[in-house]
Homo-oligomer: A and B are copies of this chain.
Amino acid sequence: MSSDNKTSGATTVPDTKPPSPATQAGAISRWLAERLLDACGRAPLRITLWDGTQVPAQLAAPVATMRVNTRAALTRLLIHPDLYFGEDFMAGAIDVDGDLVKFLEAVYTGGEQADAVGPLRRAAQNLMSRRRSNSLSGSRSNIHHHYDIGNDFYQLWLDRVAMQYTCAYFAHPEATLEEAQVAKMDHVCRKLRLKPGEFVIEAGCGWGGLARHMARHYGVRVRAFNISREQVRFARERAAQEGLDNQIEYIEDDYRNISGSCDCFVSVGMLEHVGPENYREMGDVLQRILPQHGRGLIHTIGRNCSAPMNAWIEKRIFPGARPPSLREMMDIFEHHDFSVLDVENLRLHYAETLRHWLARFEAHQDEIHGMFDERFIRTWRLYLAGSIASFTTGYLQLFQVLFAPGKNNDVPMTRDHLYSVSNHS
């Protein structure tokens, strides 16, 4: 585990000292709190200010109550809610009493229905939020920030089969997280119609679980790329333990440096970190490595239309991240005559995946308190709950895009094969 976890980002923590009892909220603060509720489309939420003032004064059954513990936090919320709600929640200057996910869903849904000033303010805010660069060195730094904070931590709440830190596939509502992650890997492998002996290049392999699954159950050889040092170390150890290291090569390098030729390309949960400015170059890589009979699949968080990532998530959780719209994704495919064969939107599966993760995260509070400080825990709680709300309210999508070179006629006529009985034991 890296030693800088407890202090990461601490330089810009907002003022968190408890308010003086003498500091009365007053008419202006109440008026500002009302404007905040306006900006949330008058969703049935209660705001409690630092002196106990409740806004609105009467509300029968609020979805949840947001406690704003300082005057400064209230002001910041009105200036740039996307960023400062997270900053102040993280620091304890804002709390939510009640169900955090339901609170965020109400805010997201209400906010979109609110006044027309919204888009203008949002545009101004987006100008203020400069996304971190995804140059070769920028990407390395961005990925280190999130994925190298400790394999022990992730093992506490990800599935125990393959440590998949991406959307699972709940083929049945009662599936466990472990079953759903296996089903996701099989869904991907079946879409690609992997055949024994084929060679697969994977970009952004996480802890290597999909590569091991493909090697073990589909008999393919895999070369898997990742720029997270901690993840690659873990993946190599695990492959060696499982006797799969003769089939899998984990490489600590950037997708832009992929060379050679393969039968299939797969990337699950990396494109979010690539940035649309690099999609064309990614297409160039695919053009280099995929022969006419090749197939590819990209699994990524996406958007209904082009828009920056939530500012706080980009700042604190995923620096450099930008989920693409389908329009933006086409920049990968259309310059080299790739055919898009199948797009599936699994948005609600990600909400369900995140519910499992959040429940396990909460269930392991004791261990996590031994690893990180309260600020870290509040940050992650908000990130996981906010992500659930993002998928349930349609703020985020999850696209699986299957593609092939335009001249590849060896593509299945139907998708029946995805829905027949499992084809591996």
Contact = CB atoms under 8 A, between A and B. Distances in A.
Given A327-B327, A394-B406, A406-B304, A413 B170 contact: yes
Given A325-B330, A348-B411, A415-B344, A339 B305 contact: no
A333 B327 CA distance: 10
A146 interface: no
Interface string A313-350: 00000000000011100100111011111111101110
A407 to B, nearest CB: 5
Copies of chain A in the complex:
2
Given A326-B340, A330-B327, A333-B304, A407 B419 contact: no
A365 interface: no
Sort chain A's interface into a size bin. Answer: 35 or more
A121 to B, nearest CB: 18
A123 interface: no
A257 to B, nearest CB: 26
A409 interface: yes
A413 B348 contact: yes
B337 A327 contact: no
Contacts of A408: 394
A382 to B, nearest CB: 22
Nearest to A337: B304
Contacts of A335: 305
A73 B253 CA distance: 56
A173 interface: yes
Contacts of A349: 413
A325 B304 CA distance: 17
B334 A345 contact: no
A24 interface: no
A326 B337 contact: no
B325 A397 contact: no
A259 interface: no
Nearest to A302: B340
Contacts of A394: 337, 339, 406-409
A326 B399 CA distance: 14
Contact of A334 (B170, B325, B333, B414): B325
Given A393-B407, A394-B407, A406-B394, A330 B326 contact: yes
Given A304-B406, A335-B305, A338-B304, A414 B327 contact: no
A335 B305 CA distance: 7
A109 B348 contact: no
A171 interface: yes
Given A173-B413, A341-B345, 7 more contacts: A304-B340, A326-B330, A330-B330, A340-B345, A394-B409, A415-B419, A419-B419
Interface of A: 109, 169-171, 173, 304-306, 325-327, 330, 333-335, 337-345, 347-349, 392-394, 397, 399, 406-409, 411, 413-416, 418-419
